[in-house]
A and B are shown apart, each in its own frame.
Chain A
């Protein structure tokens, strides 16, 4: 079964850093654009970042540019999100997701989600 399993997250103080990981299995990870999507408590979904299959191109929503870094290790079938200078507005469940339509936003496989809470 194709799946994504996330790890990381938790409670962090404002201004702190966290790293999320996402491990893929049962599909050819290195051929897909991969994404991070987040959902604040009780709110809707928000696309955060994506990365090209070979890691050469990366894109971010404006609100995280300069603070978050998406990366991947195709040898380990792994996707990462390094989050720095975290603020309360970053509190959310973070999902990794595969794009089945190259990079046109059809997210067909999702991780289980990891909660990130930014609070003092």
Chain B
């Protein structure tokens, strides 16, 4: 199973929006049995990942609504609106790939300018 493709880096000024793409295949990001199981994680240096988005668009309790997810075909996206200094981190997408397999993205480093 190949890793999902993400841009290595993304950046924006405070208050701006940044969108990160996550490209896979019809076997993972694309509908898997008719369901959407793409998640996004934020990881700060030396820390465990934090779930930011699951099932493409859902936010866990406590995650600001500045974080939103979407998907079109085999590409999912994470948008961070109203960028804040605290948003600077690595972001990883992941997808269920069927038959109890899970694939993560290559990761994107977000820099707040």
A window 74-116: CB within 8 A of B: 95, 100-101, 103-108, 110-113
Asked whether any CB of chain A lies closer than 8 Å to the CB of B54, the reply is: yes
A110 B48 Cβ-Cβ under 8 A: yes
Q: How many residues of B contact A (CB 8 A)?
A: 25
Q: Please give, as numbers and ranges, the residues of chain B lying within 8 Å of A95 by CB-CB distance.
A: 48-49
**Cβ distance B108 to chain A, nearest Cβ, rounded Å:** 10
Asked if A45 meets B92 with Cβ closer than 8 Å, knowing A104-B37, A108-B54, the reply is yes
Asked if A47 meets B49 with Cβ closer than 8 Å, knowing A105-B39, A106-B37, the reply is no
B103 A107 Cβ-Cβ under 8 A: no
Asked if A44 meets B105 with Cβ closer than 8 Å, knowing A59-B100, A95-B49, A105-B95, the reply is yes
Asked whether any CB of chain B lies closer than 8 Å to the CB of A21, the reply is: no
B92 A106 Cβ-Cβ under 8 A: no
Specify which of B43, B48, B95, B100 is in contact with A112 (CB 8 Å cutoff): B48
Which residue, A45, A57, A107, A112, has most C-beta atoms of chain B within 10 A? A45
Asked whether any CB of chain B lies closer than 8 Å to the CB of A46, the reply is: yes
**Cβ distance A56 to chain B, nearest Cβ, rounded Å:** 13
Asked whether any CB of chain A lies closer than 8 Å to the CB of B106, the reply is: yes
B window 33-87: CB within 8 A of A: 35, 37, 39, 41, 43, 48-51, 54-55, 60
> Which 10 A-B pairs rank lowest in CB-CB distance, beginning with the nearest?
A106-B54, A59-B100, A110-B48, A47-B102, A45-B104, A104-B37, A105-B96, A105-B102, A108-B51, A44-B107
Binding site for A on B (CB under 8 A): 3, 35, 37, 39, 41, 43, 48-51, 54-55, 60, 92, 94-96, 100-107
Supplied contacts A44-B104, A100-B51, A105-B39, 12 more A-B pairs, CB within 8 Å: A35-B102, A44-B107, A57-B100, A95-B49, A100-B54, A104-B35, A104-B55, A105-B96, A105-B102, A106-B37, A106-B54, A111-B48
